[in-house]
Structure formats: structure tokens, C-alpha cells
């Protein structure tokens, strides 16, 4: 049994009501619940954390190993395109992670095309809406079981 951290960045707490044409109708709570269920069915534990604060996200990443986390699934929200500090935090703790986006950021505004995370992630899932979170859990489980 391994522990996975599902980390969501700014504004993702608004899922369900936030631009549903872009991000879908599912709430973050329902997405987190489903992700935790899938992990449990596979014999693992998933804990979820969302914050609108870069500092809190960094703190959670720093504490991940001490919390027994072996793998991260991370939707950094708009910090994807801005945060060298979060990138450095992930490099600093050396925990493997998947980068995840509900929308296909490459098909949107030019400022969303660059990510500070893709080149250091195990993989990237984007554009599949809430289903991407289910795929990410499956991918995380596979990573944990093949390591």
C-alpha cells in the first residue's frame, strides 16, 4: 500500500461553477472522492489537498515525504505558467509526479502553452476534463507498482 497526494492549485476549488464550458460540471469534491475510491480499489491511499496559495502548496510538497507520500498528481492551475518556486519545490523533494490539467492548455491562449512542470514530470495528462483525474490515478498506481 502506498500513499498518493492529489494536489490542486488556485481556483480549482471553484470547479463545478467555474467556466463549466472549459472545466466541466464536476466539483472538486466529487473529483477527489472518485480519485480516492479508485486508489483504494487498487489497494492504495490517496489524500487530496487544494490551495489558492503558492506558499501552502510549497509547504505541502516539502512535507510530502514526511507524510509518507510516494507519488504526486498535481494540477498547478495558473501556477503552471508562472511558478519557478513550485518547480523548485518538486525538484527539491525528488518525488515523482504527474502534471494534470482539465483543459488542453496547448489549444488555449499562448500564455498557457508554457509549463514549468512538463519537462520534470513523469507524464502529462491534459484536455480530458475530470476523467483525466481517473486516468492519473491509474497511471500513478502503475508507476508505484512497477517501481
Binding site for ligand DQA (CB under 6 A): 11, 75, 77-78, 80, 101-103, 105, 112
Give yes or no: 101 in active site: yes
From the CB of 53, what's the least distance to ligand DQA, in Å?
14
23 is catalytic: yes
Give the nearest distance from C-beta 82 to ligand DQA in angstroms. 9
| Number of CB atoms found within 10 A of residue 81's CB | 16
Catalytic pick among 44, 101, 116, 133: 101
Take residue 142 and report the three cell numbers written for it.
Answer: 502503475
Evaluated on CA atoms 79, 15, 139, 105, the torsion sign reads: negative
3 or 112: CB nearest ligand DQA: 112
Give the angle 15-18-22 at the CA atoms, nearest 5°: 95
Grid coordinates given for 72? 504526486
Catalytic sites, residue numbers: 23, 101
Amino acid at each position: 500500500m502506498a500513499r498518493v497526494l492529489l494536489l490542486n492549485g488556485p481556483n480549482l476549488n471553484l470547479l463545478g461553477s467555474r467556466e463549466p464550458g472549459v472545466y466541466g460540471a464536476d466539483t472538486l469534491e466529487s473529483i477527489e472522492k472518485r480519485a480516492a475510491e479508485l486508489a483504494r480499489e487498487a489497494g492504495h491511499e490517496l489524500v487530496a489537498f487544494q490551495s489558492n496559495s503558492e506558499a501552502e502548496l510549497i509547504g505541502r510538497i516539502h512535507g510530502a515525504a514526511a507524510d509518507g507520500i510516494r507519488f504526486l498528481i498535481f494540477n498547478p492551475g495558473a501556477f503552471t505558467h508562472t511558478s519557478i518556486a513550485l518547480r523548485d519545490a518538486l525538484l527539491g523533494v525528488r518525488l515523482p509526479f504527474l502534471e494534470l490539467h482539465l483543459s488542453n492548455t496547448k489549444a488555449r491562449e499562448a500564455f498557457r502553452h508554457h509549463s514549468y512542470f512538463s519537462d520534470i514530470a513523469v507524464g502529462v495528462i491534459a484536455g480530458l476534463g475530470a476523467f483525466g483525474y481517473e486516468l492519473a490515478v491509474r497511471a500513478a498506481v502503475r508507476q508505484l507498482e512497477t517501481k
